[in-house]
Amino acid sequence: MAEQEASGLQVLLSTLQSSCDKDVILNILSVLTDLLSLGTGRRIHYVVSKGGSEALLQALATAAQTEPPDHGTLLPLLRLLARVGQRDRKFGLKVQKAEATDIILSLTRRHLGHHLYLTHCLWVLRVCASNVTTGTMLGINGAMELLFKVITPYSKRHVRTVRAAIGALAALLKSKSNSRRAVNRGYLGELLRLYQDWHRNDVSNNYIYIRRGLLLCLKYITNIQLGRETFLGSRGMEILFTSVQDCLSCKNLDPIITTATHILRKCYPKEHLPVVTVRSSYSFPLPGNASAEPPCEGSEGDSESEGEEEDEKDWDNEDVESKEEDCDLETDVNKLRSRPVLDRPEQELEKYEALCAELFQNFQELEFESEEKKSLEDRTESLPSAPSHFIPSATSVKHPNCRWRNQSVTEMGPDPGEQDFKVPLQSWRKKEECIWDKNDENRDIAEKARDKEFCEEGDPARSHVFALCSLLKDSAWYKKVFYLHCEASIDPSPEGRLESSDLVRNLLEKHRMDIPFHSPCFYAARAQCVKSIPGYRELAFPDFWGHQPPPYSKPVLERKHGLQRDKVLDDVRRLIQPGDVIGRTVFDLDDPSLSSPAAPSCLTFFSKFESGNLRKAIQVREFEYDLIMNADVNSSQHHQWFYFEVRDMKPAVPYRFNIINCEKLNSQFNYGMQLVMYSVREALQGRPRWTRAGQEICYYKNHYRCRSAAAGGGGVRRRFYYTLTFSIKFPHKDDVCYLAYHYPYTYSTMMSHLDILEQNRNPRKVYWRQQTLCQTLGGNACPLLTITAMPESKNRDDLEQFCSRPYVFLTARVHPGESNASWVMKGTLEFLVSSDPIAELLRKCFIFKIVPMLNPDGVINGNLRCSLSGDDLNRQWLTPSSQLHPTIYHAKGLLYYLSSIGRAPLVFCDYHGHSQKKNVFLYGCSIKETLWQAGCMVDTAVVTEDVGYRTLPKILDKVAPAFVMNSCSFLVEKSRASTARVVVWKEMGVLRSYTMESTYCSCSHGLYRGLQLGTQELEEMGSKFCLGLLILHLKSLPCSKELMAQAALLLDLEEEITDRAQRRYSNSSLESDDEPPCAEEIDYDTACSSDGEEEFLELDQEIQECLSCVEAETEDEGVTTGQTCSSRALRGLYISSQPAPNSTALPLGSSALGLCRGFESSPV
């Protein structure tokens, strides 16, 4: 009965192992051959799962014992072993268990004189060697020596056998011990000579697979240090480089070019960066005995789904970049639910009451508003007035199509309904309240005085005026106007500075551009108060002059075929042909004296301004430069952000820039992302904007490396760097241009923006309070904003409604290099203080607490990730230090205070940027989804969870064009336990605690699909986030009938506008499934791809090609194959009658039919 229930496949395999009848064995092999040839790799996996490999190996052992060998059985058996074994991950172990390695080697030796049989043996040898342990055993037993007898000397006879032998040799060389044995016996030089012979003689390119197979042997043998050294000593770089040049003109030779390029990149002699030390050029003395650089962990932003650093455990094999398994999920339910005790004394929370004055204000001063306003106007007559700006509504940034936007805000002009909003500035610099330093008030007064001095008509007593890094034709005029400190050193008279100030003022008057929410005077005044480590004396022109988004969105850059290999070959050419390499340092932040003076053919670089980052520039060739970024302050790592000035260029000439010390494993630069450029001449001609720029952009691993302390290991780990290369044609001769990783947004930009927002708000409707959360390590103020609606009146009900509004807590820019987060925050702030009816309604629903920049020092000093302490502040939320991490310490303290008085935020959101993923999306926290993803059993009766954390992302997926729900994740990882979203979720009990990630590149879905996001799209995301909060309020909280009626009218109108543009682009809806989302697959090619499935397909093709010649060659050798079974014979086998009693033929009937059923139920 059991035999009848067994599947037909199992009967076949069992019979194959036990039968000694040649006809039965041939029939079974024919059935298996036909069945496996009809399906895909899945069908082979099904055979493996039923014990197919073991059965075939047992049959091989039986057949090999026959004297003389029965080749009619051996040939189909070896072919099946090759096809099945290559897809069986445990095939090598099964070969060892069956003690078949000696059998395979013996068969190979026995058939050295018969190339058809030898080819079949070599296929199986190749599959066995794919297991490192089995391959090592084969190497010890002389397999490599045997293979070298087959492939040498060069000959075009029996090329099919040579090809199989080279494939087997490449598989053997994946074992390091075999590679060392090959090097020690001189095989590497033999392989190079053999490759040269095949390359020279294969004029018609008929033997590409043989040439590539030899390159694969070199690729694996150079995975070890000894192999690379021997390769270099054998002139391998020159040989491969020369051969690749011969192949570039033929696209069919791409497999050869790609493999050779990979070997060249890998064997390029490793060097340290051409800097004195990898530590930052800037250092900052820390308070107390704090360490200057504690171990720096990953970040919330980019590290939610990516490793912060390359984990190359096998340093002899740099080609293997091992990826840690996804075992980071927190599976301890108690830890997921834990509510740790306060990290500070409870009485210390009382001081945060001063930051929540809105809860205790009686608004009696409203009666005296007109008198107070008049008094303030009298006091601020001499202060600079910010330009009045139209604050756009949510619908004014709609995009009618994917390419061109509506006319700009400036072109539209002010809204007549906004006239009553244009009230005088009540205080140029509002008296900031700071509860941590009693001297803050005096400091503010002093700063106000300096602000006033800057914009007054020329005060000879002022200490200094910032210079501008800018452009003018006359170099003398250029220096006189834009490098005033140099002029002062030559002629320190006050009149000289006054004259320069007049010239700057004339420039502003002549080229005046009314950029919304920007004032050059306000920016310069704020920049004067900034405290930086280098002591900046210059302003970057784009930050001073302002940025206006272009009227179009730029599509992602299409990548040219073979671009990466071309760039790698250019790098190799420096080593092979160094004659044209200049190697001159033209800019050095560490030692300015080493910088060469500007030559006629040399660009001039500069980066010592706010948020600037460029450490060194080296001229490689006339139009090519290697650039090195500066590490974060008090750190030796975190290289990604760059922002620098370049001038003295020639027009329409492609300049190549190579940033050679990038650290990220992957980058969106490989997926069509471009950097941004700002031209001063374009700005003065009326186009003041950052634009996407750069061609021939790619990102790949280079030959530079450094040593740094291993994380917790006590030893050292070698960190490899990556190159970002791009070419730019500058639009004008002798222009001054700025290049940056992403749209810069400086601390001074933020502070001046807050000043203008405060002036342009309607004080009768908008409650605005700007306070100082704390002072940073560098002595800069960290602003805290409170925004809500003013109470309707002073009566008790209105005041109670005002105080009872739920809180929303927003933060941004904890990572300085994520400037896109600040642009999103800019959109949020402008929308919140606008006259848009939805904004007015939103202010009535919530009290917003906003920290627009959590890491001012990092932003000011051009950091990517850390603060001045060298710490990633988004990894300090568990136990922040009041001395080292003041902004995190006090932001957490404020959240603790709100929670202690029963006013924990309804929503907490930390704005970030993501460098390796597309779209805008949220990271949230969920116990159940984390446990499900980790494969844990979840008792729904014990583990209960409010799924409200998914409501806001679903809403944003519907209303925000750049937002994609499917990119969101709600998993809680152990390594993220100290990030803001996880700590606020666990310790403050905020269900809707999020990190909002914005791409640096583009969107993969919706209205902006295939378009690079600009500042206008990012600002739009900030305003749409506000709209999402209003809808969340209506869905989640009780509302008055009046509020619901207003909301229904406004949201219907809003939906009608948005749906018209988005309906056909929508990728999901509010009713989408609550299953955990699928992660986006990112397929970068930063270090050349591995072979994988390609090897399977190659061997399958090789076997198939050989099959067409098997019968003819077998007949020529006079071998009788006995009964053969084609697909026609197979059909006959199924419909034949039951066998006679005592027959040894294959049993049919229900068992045979079960064979079909077994395969029908298997995946095909």
* pLDDT of amino acid 612: 97
Examine the pLDDT at 165 and tell me if it is beyond 90.
yes
Helices (H) and strands (E) in the chain, counts: 43, 20
The answer for residues whose C-beta is within 8 angstroms of residue 167's C-beta and 6 or more apart is 122, 123, 126, 213, 1098, 1099, 1102
Higher pLDDT, 174 or 1126: 174
Higher pLDDT, 818 or 68: 818
Tell me the mean pLDDT in the region 1031-1058: 69
Examine the pLDDT at 666 and tell me if it is beyond 70.
yes
Examine the pLDDT at 441 and tell me if it is beyond 80.
no
Q: Which two tokens stand for residue 565?
A: 């290999």
* pLDDT of amino acid 834: 94
* pLDDT of amino acid 466: 60
* pLDDT of amino acid 86: 85
Contact 860, 611 (CB under 8 A): yes
At 455-512, the pLDDT tens digits run 443 333 333 346 665 444 344 434 444 443 333 333 333 333 334 456 567 777 776 6
Examine the pLDDT at 312 and tell me if it is beyond 80.
no
Quickly state the pLDDT bin for 444 (edges 50, 70, 90): very low
Examine the pLDDT at 308 and tell me if it is beyond 50.
no
Catalytic residue among 308, 997, 1054, 1098: 997
Map residue 1009 onto helix, strand or coil: strand
At 835-881, the pLDDT tens digits run 999 999 999 999 999 999 999 999 999 999 999 999 999 999 999 99
* pLDDT of amino acid 299: 42
Q: Which two tokens stand for residue 785?
A: 């904003």
Instruction: Check residue 463 and give left, alpha or beta (phi > 0: left; psi -120 to 50: alpha).
Output: alpha
* pLDDT of amino acid 1035: 81
Q: What is the value of pTM for the model shown?
A: 0.80
Contact 815, 998 (CB under 8 A): no
% of the chain residues with pLDDT over 90: 49
Examine the pLDDT at 428 and tell me if it is beyond 90.
no
What stretch of H or E contains 643?
strand 643-647
Tell me the mean pLDDT in the region 321-342: 66
Examine the pLDDT at 664 and tell me if it is beyond 60.
yes
Tell me the mean pLDDT in the region 899-927: 95
647, 649, 728 from 652: Cα distances, Å:
14, 9, 9
Quickly state the pLDDT bin for 1146 (edges 50, 70, 90): very low
Q: Which phi and psi angles does 864 have, rounded to 5°? A: -100, -45
Question: For residue 156, how many other CB atoms are within 10 A of its CB?
Answer: 12
At 828-840, the pLDDT tens digits run 999 999 999 999 9
Distance CA 129, CA 136 (A): 8
What stretch of H or E contains 627?
strand 624-628
CB-based burial label for 1070 (10 Å; 0-12, 13-18, 19+): middle
Amino acid at 136: T
Write down the residue that tokens 């993923």 correspond to. Answer: 917
> Which of 275, 179, 1114 minimizes the C-alpha distance to 631?
275
151, 340, 407, 976, 1101 from 986: Cα distances, Å:
65, 8, 46, 12, 56
Distance CA 163, CA 160 (A): 5
Tell me the mean pLDDT in the region 514-523: 88
Tell me the mean pLDDT in the region 742-763: 96
Map residue 553 onto helix, strand or coil: coil
Tell me the mean pLDDT in the region 983-992: 94
Distance CA 108, CA 105 (A): 5
* pLDDT of amino acid 25: 86
Tell me the mean pLDDT in the region 938-951: 81
Examine the pLDDT at 1130 and tell me if it is beyond 60.
no
Sign of CA dihedral 555, 560, 561, 563: negative
Write down the residue that tokens 């050295």 correspond to. Answer: 112
At 594-613, the pLDDT tens digits run 766 667 789 999 999 999 99
Tell me the mean pLDDT in the region 289-313: 42
Q: Which phi and psi angles does 647 have, rounded to 5°? A: -145, 180
Distance CA 1053, CA 1064 (A): 19
User: Which of the residue ranges 378-387, 516-525, 675-684, 995-1004 would you say has the lowest mean pLDDT?
Assistant: 378-387
* pLDDT of amino acid 190: 94
Higher pLDDT, 774 or 937: 774
Task: Determine how β-strand 604-606 pairs with β-strand 467-469.
Answer: unpaired
B/e letters for 45-61, b = 16+ CB within 10 Å, e = fewer, are: bbbbebbbbbbbbbbbe
User: Average per-residue pLDDT in the chain?
Assistant: 78
* pLDDT of amino acid 1015: 96
* pLDDT of amino acid 718: 57
Map residue 931 onto helix, strand or coil: helix
**C-alpha R_g of the chain:** 35
Tell me the mean pLDDT in the region 139-144: 92
At 609-654, the pLDDT tens digits run 999 999 999 999 999 999 999 999 999 989 999 999 999 999 989 9
* pLDDT of amino acid 595: 66
* pLDDT of amino acid 1086: 52
DSSP string for 1062-1075: HGGG----TT---S
Distance CA 886, CA 1037 (A): 34
Distance CA 549, CA 1018 (A): 11
% of the chain residues with pLDDT over 70: 71
Q: Which phi and psi angles does 914 have, rounded to 5°? A: -125, 125
Examine the pLDDT at 438 and tell me if it is beyond 80.
no
Residue 997 is among the residues annotated as catalytic for this protein: yes
Quickly state the pLDDT bin for 591 (edges 50, 70, 90): confident
